Chains A and B, each alone.
Chain A
């Protein structure tokens, strides 16, 4: 089928024996790896170290990486000033529903685009791609007015329901790419056995698609987790707020609690870091399998 072992190191290590040249190269490789890791993580380390400082200490100059005194209370204060527990739950619900919606509907539509031939298919796929070009923020006001007339303001509905209708061009695109890598013979075999098109989709394609589905699930989850504009526009009551909105609570023109804001920002990032760390194998595997090559 052409799927490869993950974790192979085609570029760096070859099948030929290690020479001095190879070892040198590998050493440089590792050096650069560590160097850039430091560069990339420095801002975040700074964020965390500052989040443990007092307001005054944050602005010491010359800057100092070690907080003195260390204030883990910042985290407690930040997360209790606004009910982050509620925000967490809300965000989880919204993100979870988004993931379910996207996984099923985008694969459903993508199957149609990838495996079926019918007039107008390419036209509609072109439209799918075209929707990638319109920024989220642009349709905000017309959408808001529609949702307001429907009475959906201050509910999760505007943030969830649209995802059930295809789940977004990006996801449809990825799934379509994936489905196209699966040989036609498998589907034909199933059809000969009397399987309907839905059956082929549900019983054959979907199980094969697990890695790709996990990939789009993770992308969708991350987007929903960090989404600010949507919740800020549609959610009114504090009980309904998401984490992103809660994070914005500390920012205002007449007062800023830097210590709390930094702590909240760091705290909000931790769950997604853990999620990515645990899921990265599937994540990468999934993208490989979408066969972006073809």
Chain B
């Protein structure tokens, strides 16, 4: 369904439904005609910063009574700390990006405004198929209520150097079911694509693992998300129904071990640490022909695309173990309960959940839509950009993600449990230790933290 921006905004701002809703909630909307200031906090790199500013300009043009004050902090972790301190001191912004890691904790502590009714009664957002389901509800609902609107979907997939594939005569991966490799097939291809300086493959005699010129694949182990994609693919889970970690299940450990083995057993992957906090990634390795395939989040398309790279590139789905899968998450946009202008704050957060906002970031390759409106033929035209999105990319959004994307929601206490036990266990297997040796203790300890956090 397509709708012009003008019509949409007309439906929005003066929507009687919204007003009634808010009055029923006991929050009286401001009737004043002076400009209301809404503070909006968030993080991001250069591209995100610019994008938000543009969106603010558009919004303010249509809503002359609301001024958005954008408070940008570059790093998400730092932003989280600053926001927490601000909440403690009573100077929190009205609206904010909320990390998936913090979402549930903030929600159950009453920091975020309950938006469920506002969303359900909204003429646009309240439509049943507005968002891609069931994933959207899976990640947004805390005890059945929504405390924020997911900004987008991002998930991991393969970025490949097309020139290398062509030279080797191998068909690269894609997003259609028949283009996704089974694990054994994947290992064979990786073997073909890895060479030492003498041109030998790992299964050739005399292969020198210390002198590899070209690696087949880089599967980052610097944080949990890319690794859990493998877990989901092997029919494992991160959490069980009680919210406890089950990464010590046989399927989960087997999945993670297989990924680690790419480095130490098959010798097809490099030992570059994904230093997430500094943004180090495998882009340059792909671009200089040292890496055939790199796995990274879909956000990386904003810099790993045909225009930016000097080689021919393409995208494809992760290989499957039992079934195709990838892990989905993204940050939320929320209204904080402490705001003094709930109506205006909702207007802004609402705007952020519309195609017009998502389009901008989707165009540059940073985001993948979580709204069905953008997946129709017409909708796709609005954001698929030649030179940024490879030819098969629309399939990623329309076919692959809705079918194989698994939404992740993180319980309170996850940050501590991850920092103290899970990430160290991942570090250990990234350093050559066996998953079976480290994960059962790690998970047990991590679950103690989660249980303590419920109290």
A56 CA to B303 CA in the complex, in Å?
11
Chain A 142-178 interface 0/1 with B at a Cβ cutoff of 8 Å (1 = within): 0011001100010000000000000000000000000
A237 touches B71 (CB 8 A): yes
Q: Is B76 an interface residue (CB 8 A)?
A: yes
A58 CA to B288 CA in the complex, in Å?
11
Would you list which residues of chain B between 22 and 48 have a CB under 8 Å from chain A? Answer: 43-48
Among the stretches B87-95, B259-267, B415-423, the one at the interface with A is: B87-95
A141 touches B288 (CB 8 A): no
Enumerate chain A residues within 8 angstroms of B88, measured Cβ to Cβ.
141, 144-145
Q: Is B287 an interface residue (CB 8 A)?
A: yes
Residue from B90, B280, B287 in contact with A56 in the complex, judged by beta carbons closer than 8 Å: B287
Would you list which residues of chain A between 45 and 80 have a CB under 8 Å from chain B? Answer: 55-56, 58-61
Q: A56-B287, A149-B89, A256-B278 are in contact. Are A232 and B46 (CB under 8 A)?
A: no
B89 touches A148 (CB 8 A): yes
Enumerate chain B residues within 8 angstroms of A16, measured Cβ to Cβ.
none
Chain B 39-63 interface 0/1 with A at a Cβ cutoff of 8 Å (1 = within): 0000111111000000000000000
Enumerate chain A residues within 8 angstroms of B297, measured Cβ to Cβ.
254
A252 touches B45 (CB 8 A): yes
B76 touches A144 (CB 8 A): no
Enumerate chain A residues within 8 angstroms of B47, measured Cβ to Cβ.
255
Residue from A233, A250, A252, A257 in contact with B76 in the complex, judged by beta carbons closer than 8 Å: A252
Closest Cβ–Cβ distance, residue A157 to chain B (whole Å): 15
Q: A56-B310, A233-B85 are in contact. Are A248 and B74 (CB under 8 A)?
A: yes
Q: Is A249 an interface residue (CB 8 A)?
A: yes
Q: Is B426 an interface residue (CB 8 A)?
A: no
Enumerate chain A residues within 8 angstroms of B280, measured Cβ to Cβ.
256
Enumerate chain A residues within 8 angstroms of B186, measured Cβ to Cβ.
none
A253 touches B91 (CB 8 A): no
Q: Is A198 an interface residue (CB 8 A)?
A: no
Closest Cβ–Cβ distance, residue B96 to chain A (whole Å): 13
Nearest A residue to B72, CB-CB: A238
A56 CA to B43 CA in the complex, in Å?
25
Chain B 285-319 interface 0/1 with A at a Cβ cutoff of 8 Å (1 = within): 10110100000010100110000001000000000
Would you list which residues of chain B between 106 and 134 have a CB under 8 Å from chain A? Answer: none
A253 CA to B300 CA in the complex, in Å?
10
Closest Cβ–Cβ distance, residue B154 to chain A (whole Å): 8
Q: Is A81 an interface residue (CB 8 A)?
A: yes
Closest Cβ–Cβ distance, residue B126 to chain A (whole Å): 30
B277 touches A253 (CB 8 A): yes
Q: A236-B71, A252-B75 are in contact. Are A144 and B45 (CB under 8 A)?
A: no
A282 CA to B95 CA in the complex, in Å?
51
A251 touches B284 (CB 8 A): no
In which size bucket is the chain B interface? 35 or more
A250 touches B91 (CB 8 A): no
Residue from A58, A141, A145, A256 in contact with B279 in the complex, judged by beta carbons closer than 8 Å: A256
B89 touches A254 (CB 8 A): no
Closest Cβ–Cβ distance, residue B431 to chain A (whole Å): 22
Q: A56-B287, A56-B288, A59-B285 are in contact. Are A251 and B89 (CB under 8 A)?
A: no
B45 touches A257 (CB 8 A): yes
Enumerate chain A residues within 8 angstroms of B11, measured Cβ to Cβ.
none
Q: Is B170 an interface residue (CB 8 A)?
A: no
Enumerate chain B residues within 8 angstroms of A248, measured Cβ to Cβ.
74-75, 78
Closest Cβ–Cβ distance, residue A248 to chain B (whole Å): 5
Nearest B residue to A58, CB-CB: B284
Residue from A141, A145, A249 in contact with B74 in the complex, judged by beta carbons closer than 8 Å: A249
A153 CA to B44 CA in the complex, in Å?
22
14 A-B contacts (beta carbon < 8 Å) = A56-B310, A141-B85, A148-B90, A233-B82, A237-B71, A251-B277, A251-B278, A253-B75, A253-B276, A254-B48, A254-B366, A255-B45, A255-B303, A256-B280
Chain B positions within 8 Å of A, measured between CB atoms, are 43-48, 71-76, 78, 82, 85-86, 88-91, 276-281, 284-285, 287-288, 290, 297, 299, 302-303, 310, 366
- Besides A59-B287, A248-B78, 15 other CB < 8 A contacts? A59-B284, A81-B46, A145-B88, A153-B89, A248-B74, A248-B75, A251-B279, A252-B75, A252-B279, A253-B76, A253-B277, A254-B45, A255-B303, A256-B45, A260-B46
- 8 shortest interchain CB distances as A-B pairs: A255-B45, A256-B279, A148-B89, A59-B284, A252-B45, A249-B74, A252-B74, A254-B299
